[in-house]
Amino acid sequence: MTNKYFGTDGIRGRANVKLTPDLALRVGQSAGVALRRGKHRPRALIGKDTRLSSDIIEGALVAGFTSAGVDAVLLGTIPTPAVAMATRCMGGDLGVMISASHNSYEDNGIKLFNSDGYKLSDELEARIESLLETDITPMLAGAVNLGRVGRIDIQARYVEVAKRTLGRKVRETRADIGIALDGDANRMILVDEKGNVVDGDQVMAVLAESWRDEGRLTKSGIVATIMSNLGLERHLAGLGLGLERTAVGDRYVIERMREGGYNLGGEQSGHLIVADYSTTRDGLVAAIRLLEVVQSLDKPVSDICHRFEPLPQVLRNIRFGSGRPLDNAVVAKVIKEATARLGSGGRLVVRPSGTEPLIRVMGEAEDKELVDSLISDVCDAVAQAA
């Protein structure tokens, strides 16, 4: 079943247009009703990023939770991984992060975590979806059972947790490396001393080889999505390591990691999951782990973080207004023909974005001119059908 509200990373949309205070209120009420168990009073821990709209969404969520008899604990402005950590460590029933990650600042989102700090199950999401479409007024708390609101500062605690992943204090050194985190600090991209961008694929290659040599990989491979470069897969194969691919979205990577017992996975975009230290993607912890390898090898970052030559990869986005362009027969025919022309030496991935009204078209092969041509053909067909 296709969700009306939840995408690959919670609920997301233009603030005060699609993601309105009314919707946030109903999300709080619906999630609160879904959480109730007998006489137990659930607790929802709420964090937010620095977007202008985060305050109004926070207020609406608080009203929703408390009206459903759920206590709301405000964590303030913190990274998404800190919400997951706090929910798990403080015995929360639900973790809530108000953020749209890398989306434009006009957007915002609501991400939900379960009591263990993992993304919600499909079943609980479906339950909340159903309640959002239902008049739940009769299910709300009575006047004497309303939830309460509190506030806790966990920023310092999260910093200490992140630092302890090394097992010792990190000495301040002058490093020739740049580390960029997105708005809620769950995505990390590096820049080496030469100014070259290092994506998530290269970071996973570095950590996988290092952990293999140290006997720290729990499985002989890692988990990534269909967007990771074919060069990464070939490089890992040369090391005797496998690469399991999932659909795009860290929730699918994490699910496969948990099912298969993997402790390293992520996305090319910079979402890294280091399962020994975090239940969700955590840019800060991933950066610390990478710095650990850099320090141990004592080589320039440009040498350490260029483990393989990626195949030429082209990614383009086509915005559409409504409908389902990928169901169009002409589009399907063009995609099939392009896939056939790439053969076994390349890949073509065409998919709808889980967070925006976009069709994402990605192709890769040794022949970049061929990839450019095929991507243009597919994009033209999608644009005409959109």
Catalytic sites, residue numbers: 101
3-class DSSP assignment, residue 29? helix
**Is the torsion defined by CA of 216, 221, 226, 231 positive or negative?**
positive
DSSP line for 47-90 = EE-S-TTHHHHHHHHHHHHHHTT-EEEEEEE--HHHHHHHHHHT
Distance, CA of 362 to CA of 186 (rounded, Å): 23
Q: 288: part of which helix (H) or strand (E)?
A: helix 283-297
How many C-beta atoms surround the C-beta of residue 252 within 10 A?
Answer: 19
N residues, the chain? 386
Select from 232, 181, 206 the least CA-distant residue to 289.
206
Q: How many Å is the maximal CA-CA distance in the chain?
A: 69
Bridge-based pairing of strands 221-225 and 242-246 is parallel
Confirm if 355 and 19 have CB atoms less than 8 A apart.
no
Burial bucket for residue 373 (CB in 10 Å: 0-12, 13-18, 19+): middle
